[in-house]
Amino acid sequence: MWSMRTVTKLLFGLIIALSFSLQASAAITKKDFYGYWEIPEASGNTCYVIVKRNGNASCFWAGGKYDKIEKGSWSLVGERLIINWDGGYKYGLEKRDKDNIVRYQFTADQDPTGTTTDIAAGNRFNRKMVGSMKTEPNKDKEKDDKALGQDVSRPWNRKVMEKERSLARSPFSIKNEEKNYLGYWEIASSRALWGLVGNGTYYMNLDSMGNVTTAQKDWGEQHFGQLGLWHYENGEIQIKWPSGDKAILKGNKEQGYVLELFKPDDEFPDHPDTTKEIRKREDPQIKTFFNAAETNVISMLDYLGYWYEAGTDGKIDMSHHIEVERWGHCYRVDSPSGEKVKGNWIMSTDHMTMYWEDGKRSALELVGGNSLYLATWPANSPENALPTKKVPVDKRVPEEKIGEIKQH
């Protein structure tokens, strides 16, 4: 018979061995990082990182106009996966559990095994959501990477989208002095800004691609404002909007920030039309005001232009049309009268509603993810009423301007 002391020693030894075995099995390996990772960033963009088995990595961002795919290579240093991007930036990925990671971002001159203030959480992402991309090596890699950008533009507005994307910046080009301005800002105002409909508190987001988006809380979670571009110059952020309006964001954490607004004919950057107090906001609720701006399905830019009804036979009816302009303005030219009616539009996630001065209502709606239809309602019809007509539409540049605005 074994003594109690002998049994205790054997059990203690077994526990120690089991402990070492569990620690060994829990050790982080490179296989733990293979696959697709979704990383929401503080600036409002979402970065998708693909760690491939052959030592290569790629990433792209959703929610903006920058559609290029960044390439890099990785190595496992201790329990941190280090990705060296071709543009000079570096990522350090650490596992939190099976499907969650922490992302550390470093500039070219920083040690990726050290510490940084640029930290974000990420989670594993289903690769079916990004098409047919694969992480296996030597399996038509270029075709896989190309699949990432298939939905960055829409056929009805490809030229406009290409122009906007050509101006977008890589998030890896952002300098340290610019990072303080990225993210969400709140502007208190008693009147409409930049042509937005309504009054009240406005919000502005500067993302890491050089885009500026505005939103208004009163519109609800599915509405958003306009898209402009920003750049850093002389210690301040200079913003330019498609209408010609401009703005300057400047200040510091100690004394506060201001937003100087310039009309198209104002002398820039010395004589602003007005100055507003602005403050940084980091609470998650602010992001909900920008939901429509983050969608990859359709944006305000897709709706701009002249829209004509398209018949089932493919013929375009050029006798009447709808014009959608920036800053909430739209016009409807009727046939056969040729009367041109003013209106205002409001943007939603998958449609744009136009309210006409004569009481009628129209909406450009995205159907099936790739086709636009025009729905119409008679004057003063309820918001929940079914449209009396819904037809496919086609965007065309008119050969001549038709229709004159008539006074009612």
> Domain of 317: which CATH number?
2.40.160
Residue 216 has pLDDT above 80, yes or no: no
User: Is the pLDDT confidence value at 14 over 70?
Assistant: no
The pLDDT tens digits of the residues spanning 34-60 come to 999 988 887 777 888 999 999 999 998
Residue-level pLDDT at 154: 33
Whole-number pLDDT of residue 93: 96
> DSSP string covering 176-222, please?
HHHHTT-EEEEEEESS--TT-SS-EEEEEEE-TTSEEEEEEGGG-TT
Asked if residue 35 belongs to a domain, the reply is yes
Same structural domain, 272 and 317: no
Same domain, 148 and 51: yes
pLDDT at 232: 92
If asked whether residues 50 and 142 sit together in one domain, one would say: yes
CATH number for 129: 2.40.128.640
Residues 275 and 249: their CA atoms lie apart, in Å, by: 10
pLDDT 10s digits, 88-130: 899 999 998 888 899 999 988 899 999 888 888 888 877 655 5
CB 243 within 8 A of CB 229: no
| Alpha carbon separation from 19 to 8, 23, 24 (Å, rounded) | 16, 6, 9
- Please give the residue range of the domain that contains residue 373: 304-405
Residues 149 and 63 reside in one and the same domain = yes
**Is residue 17, in this structure, part of any structural domain at all?**
no
Locate 377 and state its tokens. 């309602």
237-270 tens-digit pLDDT: 999 887 778 899 998 877 889 999 888 888 888 8
Residue at 366 is within a domain: yes
363 assigned to some structural domain? yes
Q: How far apart are CA 156 and CA 369, in angstroms?
A: 12
| AA identity, residue 351 | H
The whole-number average pLDDT for the span 336-358 is 84
Burial of 129 (0-12, 13-18, 19+ CB in 10 A): exposed
Alpha helices in 252-336 (DSSP H): 291-294, 300-303
**Do 183 and 42 contact (CB within 8 A), yes or no?**
yes
In a domain, 329, yes or no: yes
From 239, 174, 235, select the one nearest 43 (Cα to Cα): 174
The answer to whether residues 379 and 360 touch, using CB atoms and an 8 Å cutoff, is: yes
- Most confident among 81-85, 217-221, 302-306, 314-318 (mean pLDDT): 81-85
CA-closest candidate to residue 96, choices 28, 10, 14, 161: 28
Same domain, 35 and 137: yes
Note the pLDDT of residue 218.
44
How many domains does the structure of the chain reveal? 3
What residue ranges in 41-144 does DSSP mark as E strands? Answer: 46-51, 56-62, 70-77, 80-85, 90-97, 100-106, 119-124
Q: Looking at residue 52, what is its pLDDT? A: 94
Assigned domain for 373 exists: yes
Last residue of a domain, one of 258, 290, 322: 290
- Which pLDDT score is estimated for 103? 95
In tens, the pLDDT along 177-208 reads: 888 898 889 886 645 455 444 445 778 889 88
**pLDDT at 163 exceeding the cut of 70:** no
- CATH number of the domain encompassing residue 178: 2.40.128
Helix or strand or coil: residue 131? coil
